[in-house]
Structure formats: structure tokens, C-alpha cells
Amino acid sequence: MIYTDTRDANAKVDFKTAVMNGMNSATGGLYVPVEFPKIEISKIMKDGKVDFVTAAFEMAKPYVEGEIPDADLLDLIKDAYPFEPKLVKIDGSTYVLELSHGPTCAFKDFGARFMARAMSFFNKDENGKLHILVATSGDTGSAVGSAFHNVEGLDVTILYPEGKISPLQEKQLSTFTGNVRALKVKGTFDDCQKLVKTAFTDKDLREKFRLSSANSINISRLLPQSFYYMFAALQAKYENSGKEIIVTVPSGNFGNLTSGLIAREMGAPITGFVAATNSNRTIPDWIATGDYKARPSVETYANAMDVGAPSN
């Protein structure tokens, strides 16, 4: 699979480059696949049931073809996911997709654990360590820290806004040792994210360190999050034949919603999405007016969604 740059259609890279670089430092653009292949549903759904590991393997396979052998990819996925999402029926045709069964109880465990193993696979052929930078508004940092902890050849630095994440999240972030460190930033999540993006576009810094990102600007975070959308949509559709599937997604940086759109492009039977936001209205206002204006984030009780300048 070839990947291109959201700001330069002439830029073409492979999966390894997209994953290991995180973004195009020259343009500030994000790497995305040139196409989203349709998946044969019969391969992942048997007798009305979806096997999550099989779905993940079949969805990931075309994106890594020629770079990660099938046997290694399957091992990677099995190692990443000793847990599964759970689709729970609430009432009638309303469901909740539980994504809190990973080690940090955050949906970002799904993306972070796949990404850590993909980076480790590619880094074994490189000289020196890969330095991972990540900004967090709460759950990303915990998931990334857990996923990368003690992974050989990878060092992780997590930036988080002081006083703006929950006590539990801060305890999760601050108790890692070894190759994972967390740094408080006097500011907002947007300030943390800006620092990460600035580091990536700093030519001198990139010459000194091999840098990559663990935020949803990295395609290896977005792709694995699409796995559970396919899983849930197929299961819900089977149980509700003839009904349209509408997915409501709490949205801050809009990476999770982007993953849902990828799943739909690949054949997930999703009719539409509701992107639920809080008081941080950058994207809703852009959709309503056509004028994109990044702005300082507004602090709310839903701190993981407090993003004034979304990346995705």
C-alpha cells in the first residue's frame, strides 16, 4: 500500500515510513492511504458472529502488504489484543460498544498496542532508538505508556497539561519507569500538541533524534481503531436486519471518528455518524460556516475532549 500526504499529493511513502515518521516534517501533513480497500465480509463473519482477531488481521493486511508477513502480522495482532470490544444491547436497537477492557480501560488501548508492536517490528532493523512524542488530554498518554512500556528500542515522552487531567489519569502516567517518561506542561492540551508538532518540523532536532508520534496523527493509531467499528457494525447489522446503523462518537481530536470513516470505506455497514462534542466547537462551527478557526480549548468535565485545534 502506498501512502500520501494530506498537504502534498505528490508525496508517496510506504507503511513503514508513514509509521516511523508519524507525519511529513516538511509539510506538516499527515500520511494517509491512497485507497481504502473493501474487505470480504465472509472472511470475518461466520454464523452471525464476528471474530475480532480475524477482522483485525483481514483489515490490516492490505495496508502492510509486502512489509509485514502474514504470520508476523497475525502474531502482532494476537499479542496486541488479549482483550476484545464488547457490543452490549441496551434496549430495542440501541447498543453501547464497550472499549474499556484493555489494560488502561481506554479505547485508545486498541490503537496504541497495535502501533507499539508495529514500530517495534520495523525498528529491529534500524540503528539506535526511536523517540516517540505524544501529547495527551488524559487517556492517550496512559494507553501509550502502557503499550510501549519496556518495548526494546523505543523511548516515549508524554506531554500532559498540568491540572487538566484526572487524578487517576495522572497516576497512570506518572508511575511508568524505564523507557517511558511523563512531563507536565503549564498550559492546555493544545499547547502540548503544538510542542509535539513543532518538534516534528524542527530540522535540527530531527537530525539529532529519530522521532515519531503516538498521537492520532500517526496512521498506525488510526487504522487499528477502525477494527472495532467493523466488528460492532457487522454484529449490530446482523441482529437488526433492515435497519440503518448510526454510530455516535464522542469527539475531541476527531481521530476516533476518522477511524470510523475508514471502517465505513472498507465496507462496514454504517449509514452515518453523530460526532458528539462539548463546549469546544471548532469543528461544529467549521461545518456550519465553512470557516475553520482554531481557538484556545475550553475546560470541561470531559477533559479528554477539550481540544480547540483538532488534528484529524
CATH of 3-305, one of 3.40.50.1100, 3.40.50.970, 3.40.50.2000, 1.10.10.10: 3.40.50.1100
Q: What is the pLDDT of residues 159-205, one digit of tens each?
A: 999 998 889 889 888 889 899 999 999 998 889 989 998 998 888 88
Q: What is the pLDDT of residues 134-155, one digit of tens each?
A: 998 878 889 999 999 999 899 9
Q: What is the pLDDT of residues 84-122, one digit of tens each?
A: 999 999 998 899 999 999 999 999 999 999 999 999 999
Asked if residues 50 and 234 have their Cβ atoms less than 8 Å apart, the reply is yes
Q: What is the pLDDT of residues 241-272, one digit of tens each?
A: 889 999 999 998 899 999 999 999 999 999 99
Any idea which residues carry the catalytic annotation? 108
pLDDT at residue 312 above 80? no
Residue 54: band (very low, low, confident or very high) from pLDDT cuts 50, 70, 90: very high
Lowest mean pLDDT among 31-35, 40-44, 216-220: 216-220
- Give the mean pLDDT of the chain: 92
Asked if residues 180 and 156 have their Cβ atoms less than 8 Å apart, the reply is yes
Between 198 and 217, residue with greater pLDDT: 198
Q: What whole-number distance in Å separates Cα of residue 299 and Cα of residue 9?
A: 36
